[in-house]
Structure 1
Amino acid sequence: MKSRVRLSKFSITLTTIITGIFIAACIATFDERPAFLCILGLLIVILLFSAIYAPIYVSANTHFIKVSSLLSGTIIQLSEIEHVELFQPTMGAVRILASGGYFGYWGTFRENDIGWYKASYGRASDCFILIMKNGDKYVFGCKNPQSMVDYIKNNL
């Protein structure tokens, strides 16, 4: 089973604005070499991290779940999962080391009710949580979260 990650309107807007500001800053500082290189370097680093961590799709088979990005992916073995259910992250989640909307939501977060978790999703309404046997928690999101949860439960 494979399902694409949909970005929220907020995430699309934030990504467009931030990228636009960086491009405008590069154009404005083109004649000032140190400032231009600094801004361009920062933009490249941000885009590289986004290409590594920003989710594109979630797939699952009888052995594992994979969240894929442009350059990387996270694989979780089904045998390590204790529980899976639909979940909606709150706006009160604290970003520990994470993106709060730039090309989606990805990284490490903390909420008062569930504690620390690693997340990779585009819309809060499209999420499900995996609770691992070792206590780790992962929040992933995709276009059809209920179907993905049902598929995972059937293969646990």
Structure 2
Amino acid sequence: MDMKEFKTARMDKQTMIITIIVLFFLILFPISSFFFYPPKPVISITSIILMYGAIIIAYCFIPRRIAVSDSQILIKNVFGSAIININEIESLQRWNKVGFNLRTFGIGGLFGYFGYFNGKDSWYVTNIEKKVQIALKSGKKYILSPENPEEFIHTIQQRSIENAPS
């Protein structure tokens, strides 16, 4: 089995700015709460745990591995893996849409865009300018951002042709 690895795209400028602003707030607010008068240490400690926990959880959603085998695509982050069978792909394309997307359940900006958007689309996006949409025959869609989208698409198309029934 020949496995081809793809790097997750580096954050685009907009995502980087959102990440810096949100990190600034999430890091400084809990620390500043120690200077409130009268002191409320329970609130201060709870806010540190919640906000620093949010940072760690968001960071763990970044795909650590994107790989394409002869028959599957693997998208892996700290919490688990998504496996897409190449023979179930209906369409595969660069997805340049940058407009409004409804976040159903997920992270929208801190280190990227991860989770469910527009109902049931699964996003693994760190760069909104390098998105690839994988639509399955079942109607499910995956949006991800490999560093080199054209090479990623070409690799999957080649594997799809090689595995097509004769």
Mark the CA change 1:135 to 1:71 in structure 2 (over 3 Å): closer, same or farther: closer
User: Which amino acid is the alignment partner of residue 8 of structure 1?
Assistant: D
Where 2:18 maps in the other structure, the secondary structure is helix
Deviation at 1:71, TM superposition (A): 4.4
Deviation at 1:45, TM superposition (A): 3.4
Give, in whole Å, the separation in 2 of the partners of 1:119 and 1:22. Answer: 23
Deviation at 1:137, TM superposition (A): 0.8
Query: TM-score under structure 2 normalisation?
Result: 0.80
Q: Deviations over 1:107-146 (max 9, x none)?
A: 1112xxxx74211111222111111121111111111001
Aligned: 1:86 with 2:101? no
Aligned: 1:119 with 2:123? yes
Q: How does 1:26-37 map to 2 (within 5 A)?
A: 26-30=30-34, 32-37=40-45
Question: RMSD across aligned C-alpha pairs, in angstroms?
Answer: 2.0
Q: Answer with 122-131 or 145-154: which moved more.
A: 122-131
Gaps of 5+ in 1: none
Give, in whole Å, the separation in 2 of the partners of 1:83 and 1:8. Answer: 25
Query: TM-score under structure 1 normalisation?
Result: 0.84
Gaps of 5+ in 2: 161-166
1:67 to 53, 63, 75: 75
Rg larger in structure: 2
| Cross-structure match for 1:130 | 134
User: Which structure: greater strand fraction?
Assistant: 1
Give the length in aligned residue pairs: 152
Give, in whole Å, the separation in 2 of the partners of 1:93 and 1:58. Answer: 23
| Cross-structure match for 1:39 | 47
Q: Answer with 61-70 or 43-52: which moved more.
A: 43-52
Q: Deviations over 1:30-52 (max 9, x none)?
A: 36312212211222431343144
| Cross-structure match for 2:12 | 8
Q: Deviations over 1:87-125 (max 9, x none)?
A: 123221111112221111111112xxxx74211111222
Give, in whole Å, the separation in 1 of the partners of 2:96 and 2:46. Answer: 38
Where 1:124 maps in the other structure, the secondary structure is coil
2:150 to 146, 151, 155: 146
